[in-house]
């Protein structure tokens, strides 16, 4: 039985953060660094006819005002072109570090100002005079597909980037034979990530040796390192990228942005160190957003409501550019069936550009949209057939005896979509019992008699976690006895150090607080993929587990010789190896010292030097984590305000390394999903001009809007990794919005309200209530 894994160990990261000793990008001192600010486009689409920086350059303390023409000589190419994982360059999709004479969204960087302080840089940026020639623009996803729609950029022959189909089974035959067919249009609007800390980069130009030390608020140091070297023609040995303390990631920080390239290019060009810290308005304008999709769906069911087939069209808004492979709509289209048996599926996917900010992963990465579409269809079927919503889902959930369950689709890796373990019906039943689902109708009727509109909603979801192909892990014991872990994974507030320390401590008999974890530094490990796709516990955790086991085996073998005892009679305890039942021990530090060797002295036979080991756990299949959520709400019909009264969620986590961390991750995901349902809407007008660029008009939930979250857990260990773990960082988000919307719709049954969109803001909900009243309902 594990001594440390599975225990609610307090996070070892927190003491420094809570006592003000954290080192975020803006906390890192670097004498002589210049501060950067960006001149940004005020137009959704325009040509740049002329740029006059004379007034800005004359400001005291300004060192440079640079455009793309200025920094291009120190770059490998003018455009941030990457070869997509598909092998296709897709040149027209990638942005420029600074605009190349044409801007395609409000906030696109046009020039960079370098000054002695950010205050001076900001003032100077405001003095840069840009003569724009506005061009026609388009922000509506449906309208951008029309033949005469304005092109997002002049270089494009069409706003459509790609189209493809995701399909299996005989869909047409299933629809012809179905007892019932129902249709629904399901638009889902975009929002942002909004971590407490925005993006940031600090480039130290070491003029003494021509090297660059780069600190970033990033989720992927190694990929960033590779791109920096590639795009700026730098020797990889001359560049070090370090992730400082990261004040939240949630997806947008896994990318390399134009601002990052511009800052590094400016540092290379000027020979100076340069720092840029994103402000909140810049995050609204320039950081990637997500959820912007329109689903037109049909579902075919038999007389009992069992699904026969799904078909539909998915429109995906990519915004003005791509910053990495366009994987989100594929995630959405291949995951729409969720935890249900769907015998046949056809999805047509259309990916298009608009004159809005770029789109990429935000917590969930396409899965929340799919779950919202599917769960809305499930509620529609239940309503039309007069079935209990939970019963309809129970009839369609994949039963445990069919596990592992293969969907006739492939993940992006080419691996089959194979649900590895879990009991979906049991999860739903458990959360329904805890929520009092059967008793709710009586409570709802009593509340209605008092003039209160309450409702309850249910949603299920499943998500692939632990995306490979690998992550690095190295465990090392020093001569002092101190244990260190090095990994290419990324710490971004989720408790990575604590989890990896627990795994290591479990193997070597030390306390987690005595393990030092170093993550996100290209100088410590040569390869790594970082943090995304709920992967790090599975990949980095498994690598560290395997490396720790190898170190333990080496220590046990050497201790056996030193203590003259059989390896089977040894145990790890208190930082030493001990003969069971005796006081005979040898410290890990002594073993490490022996394995360092000494000139002229014999070295232990049959053991490699150094008390350390590295591993890179390889995985392509995903570990699928499932969840069931129940939300209870109350709606004020006079204002359209929704109050979430109670929220319950059950999560299959495979195996919990640290229950406290799991709680935090699951509950954080739920809050994000509630926010997607009721609060967050990144507004644009018809031309693409943002209308929500501050927290005064873009809403996030506070503690007052979120109830105490009740989280339940089941553990069905995944057979796909040695920890048996499943990722938890995103799964809580995925069914939250449909659960809340289901509850709101249930509360407003007297008005016949049907909600097929997200988010649902008070003014929109009030309009739906009034529409029901005009139809004689309520």
* Residue at a domain's end among 593, 616, 639: 616
Compute mean pLDDT per 10 residues along the chain, 778 residues long, and list them.
82 92 94 97 98 97 98 94 61 91 98 98 98 97 95 95 95 98 97 95 92 96 95 96 93 95 98 97 96 97 98 97 92 97 98 96 95 98 97 98 93 87 97 97 96 98 94 96 95 93 96 95 93 92 97 96 94 94 94 89 87 95 96 97 97 94 95 96 95 94 93 95 94 97 97 96 95 88
Question: Do both 456 and 481 map to the same domain?
Answer: no
Overall size of the chain counted in residues: 778
* Whole-angstrom distance, CA of residue 351 vs CA of residue 298: 20
In a domain, 344, yes or no: no
Pair of tokens at residue 55: 């007034």
The structural domain count of the chain equals 3
Question: Do 594 and 684 belong together in one domain?
Answer: no
Residues 574 and 427 in one domain: no
Contact 295, 312 (CB under 8 A): yes
Is residue 438 domain-resident? yes
Residue 154 lies in a domain: no
Residue 81 lies in a domain: yes
Report the SS3 class of residue 467: coil
Boundary residue ending a domain (567, 589, 616): 616
- The verdict on 255 and 228 lying in the same domain is yes
Question: 341 and 205 in contact (C-beta within 8 Å)?
Answer: no
* b/e burial code for range 758-774 (CB count within 10 A of at least 16 → b): bbbbeeebbebbeebee
CATH number at residue 67: 3.90.1170.50
Residue 139 near residue 44, CB atoms below 8 Å:
yes
> Does residue 592 share a domain with residue 459?
no
The contacts of residue 451 (CB under 8 Å, 6+ apart) are none
Per-residue exposure over 384-410, b if at least 16 CB sit within 10 Å of its own CB, e if not: eeebebbebbbbbbbeeeebebebebe
Tokens of 201: 């980069």
Same domain, 371 and 431: yes
The domain in which residue 59 lies consists of 18-135+193-286
Residues 658 and 579 in one domain: no
**Residue 50 covered by a domain:** yes
Kindly state whether residues 266 and 374 are assigned to the same domain: no
Residue 111 lies in a domain: yes
b/e for 229-268, b at 16 or more Cβ within 10 A?
Answer: bbbbebeeeebbbbbbbbbbbbbbbbbbbbbbbbbbbbbb
Is 318 part of a structural domain of the chain? no
Nearest to 249 by CA among 309, 170, 319, 193: 193
Q: What integer pLDDT is reported at residue 88 of this predicted model?
A: 54
Say if CB 719 and CB 623 are below 8 A apart: no
User: Which ranges of 336-411 would DSSP assign to H, the alpha helix?
Assistant: 367-385, 389-396
Spatial CB neighbours of 237, under 8 Å, sequence gap ≥ 6: none
Same domain, 230 and 114: yes
Domain C-terminal end among 566, 585, 616:
616
pLDDT in tens, 54-66: 999 999 999 999 9
**Chain CA centroid to CA 293, Å:** 17
Same domain, yes or no: 566 and 525: yes
In a domain, 324, yes or no: no
**Residue 15 has which token pair?**
């003491």
- CATH number, residue 434: 3.30.365.10
Q: Please, are residues 687 and 37 in contact by the beta-carbon 8 Å criterion?
A: no
- Which among 582, 532, 591, 522 has a CA at the least distance from the CA of 556? 591
Other CB atoms within 10 Å distance of the CB of residue 568: 9
71 and 214 assigned to the same domain? yes
User: Residue 173 in 3-state DSSP?
Assistant: helix
Contact 408, 334 (CB under 8 A): no
Same structural domain, 606 and 702: no
Q: How many CB atoms lie within 10 A of CB 285?
A: 21
The angle formed by the CA atoms of residues 24, 29 and 33, to the nearest 5 degrees, is 115
H-type helices in 102-206, by residue range? Answer: 118-127, 171-177
Residues 6+ apart with CB under 8 A from 652: 421, 422, 423, 427, 625, 626, 627, 713, 714, 715, 716, 726
Q: Map 495-564 to HEC letters.
A: CHHHHHHHHHHHHHCCCHHHEEEEECECCCCCCCCCCCCCCHHHHHHHHHHHHHHHHHHHHHHHHHHHHC
* Strands 515-519 and 576-579, sheet pairing: unpaired
Q: In the chain, how long is the greatest CA-to-CA distance?
A: 97
C-alpha angle with apex 746: 297 to 340, nearest 5 degrees?
A: 45
Which candidate, 275, 255, 266, places its Cα nearest to that of 72? 266
What is the dihedral sign for C-alpha 517, 522, 528, 530? positive
Element containing residue 774 per DSSP (H, E): helix 762-774
Nearest alpha carbon to residue 491 among 512, 515, 465, 520: 520
Rounded CA-CA distance 577/556 in Å is 7
Give the residue from 194, 195, 538, 191 showing the smallest Cα distance to 372.
Answer: 191
User: Structure tokens of 572?
Assistant: 């790890």
């Amino acid at each position: 039985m594990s001594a440390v894994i599975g225990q609610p160990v307090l996070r070892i990261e927190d003491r420094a953060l809570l006592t003000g000793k954290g080192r975020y990008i803006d906390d890192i001192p670097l004498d002589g660094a210049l501060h950067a600010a960006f001149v940004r486009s005020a137009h959704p689409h325009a040509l740049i006819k002329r740029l006059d920086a004379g007034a800005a350059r004359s400001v005291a303390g300004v060192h440079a005002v640079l455009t793309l023409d200025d920094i291009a000589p120190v770059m490998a190419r003018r455009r941030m072109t990457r070869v997509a994982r598909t092998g296709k360059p897709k040149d027209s999709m990638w942005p420029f570090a600074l605009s190349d004479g044409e801007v395609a969204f409000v906030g696109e960087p046009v020039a960079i100002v370098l000054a002695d302080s950010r205050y001076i840089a900001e003032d100077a940026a405001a003095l840069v005079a840009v003569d724009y020639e506005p061009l026609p623009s388009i922000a509506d996803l449906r309208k951008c597909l029309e033949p005469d729609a304005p092109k997002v950029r002049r270089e494009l022959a069409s706003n459509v980037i790609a189209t493809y189909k995701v399909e299996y089974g005989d869909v047409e035959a299933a629809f012809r034979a179905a007892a019932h067919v129902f249709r629904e249009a399901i638009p889902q609007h975009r929002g942002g990530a909004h971590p407490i800390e925005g993006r940031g980069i600090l480039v130290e130009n070491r003029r003494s040796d021509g090297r660059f030390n780069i600190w970033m608020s990033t989720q992927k140091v190694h990929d960033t390192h590779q791109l920096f070297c590639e795009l700026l023609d730098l020797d990889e040995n001359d560049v070090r990228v370090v992730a400082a303390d990261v004040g939240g990631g949630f997806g947008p920080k896994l990318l390399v942005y134009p601002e990052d390239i511009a800052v590094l290019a400016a540092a290379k060009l000027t020979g100076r160190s340069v720092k840029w810290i994103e402000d909140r308005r810049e995050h609204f304008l320039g950081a990637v957003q997500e959820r912007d999709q329109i689903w037109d769906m049909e579902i075919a069911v038999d007389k009992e409501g069992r699904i026969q087939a799904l078909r539909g069209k998915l429109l995906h808004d990519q915004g003005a550019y791509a910053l990495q492979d366009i994987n989100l709509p594929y995630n959405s289209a291949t995951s729409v069936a969720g935890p249900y048996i769907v015998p046949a599926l056809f999805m047509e996917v259309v990916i298009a550009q608009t004159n809005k900010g770029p789109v990429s992963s935000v917590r969930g990465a396409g899965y929340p949209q799919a779950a919202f579409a599917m769960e809305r269809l499930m509620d529609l079927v239940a309503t039309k057939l007069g079935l209990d919503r939970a019963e309809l889902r129970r009839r369609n959930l994949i039963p445990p005896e069919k596990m592992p369950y293969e969907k006739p689709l492939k993940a992006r890796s080419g691996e089959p979509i194979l649900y590895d373990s879990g009991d979906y019906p049991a999860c739903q039943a458990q959360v329904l019992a805890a929520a009092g689902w059967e008793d709710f109708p009586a409570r709802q009727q009593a509340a209605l008699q008092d003039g209160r509109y309450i409702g309850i909603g249910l949603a299920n979801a499943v998500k692939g976690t632990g995306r490979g192909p690998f992550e690095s892990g190295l465990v090392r014991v020093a001569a002092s006895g101190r244990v260190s872990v090095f990994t290419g994974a990324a710490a971004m507030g989720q408790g990575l150090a604590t989890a990896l320390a627990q795994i290591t401590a479990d193997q070597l008999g030390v306390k987690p607080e005595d393990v030092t974890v170093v993550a996100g530094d290209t100088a410590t490990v040569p390869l790594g993929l970082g943090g995304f796709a709920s992967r790090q516990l599975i990949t980095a955790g498994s690598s560290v587990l395997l490396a720790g086991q190898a170190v333990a085996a080496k220590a046990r073998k050497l201790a056996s010789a030193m203590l003259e005892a059989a390896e089977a009679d040894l145990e790890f305890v208190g930082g030493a190896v001990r003969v069971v039942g005796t006081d005979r021990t040898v410290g890990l530090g002594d073993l490490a010292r022996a394995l360092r060797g000494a000139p002229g002295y014999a070295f232990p036979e049959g053991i490699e030097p150094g008390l350390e080991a590295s591993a890179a756990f390889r995985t392509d299949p995903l570990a699928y984590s499932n969840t069931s959520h129940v939300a209870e709400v109350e709606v004020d019909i006079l204002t359209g305000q929704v109050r979430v009264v109670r929220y319950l969620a059950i999560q299959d986590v495979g195996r919990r390394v640290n229950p406290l961390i799991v709680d935090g991750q699951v509950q954080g995901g739920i809050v994000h999903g509630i926010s997607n349902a009721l609060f967050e809407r990144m507004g644009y007008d018809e031309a693409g001009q943002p209308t929500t660029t501050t927290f005064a008009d873009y809403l996030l939930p506070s503690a007052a809007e979120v109830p105490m979250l009740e989280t339940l857990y089941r553990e069905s260990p995944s057979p796909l990794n040695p920890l048996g773990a499943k990722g938890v960082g995103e799964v809580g988000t995925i069914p939250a919005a449909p659960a809340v919307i289901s509850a709101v719709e249930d509360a407003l049954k007297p008005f016949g309200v049907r909600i097929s969109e997200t988010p649902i803001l008070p003014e929109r909900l009030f309009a739906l209530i009034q529409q029901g009243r005009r139809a004689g309902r309520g």
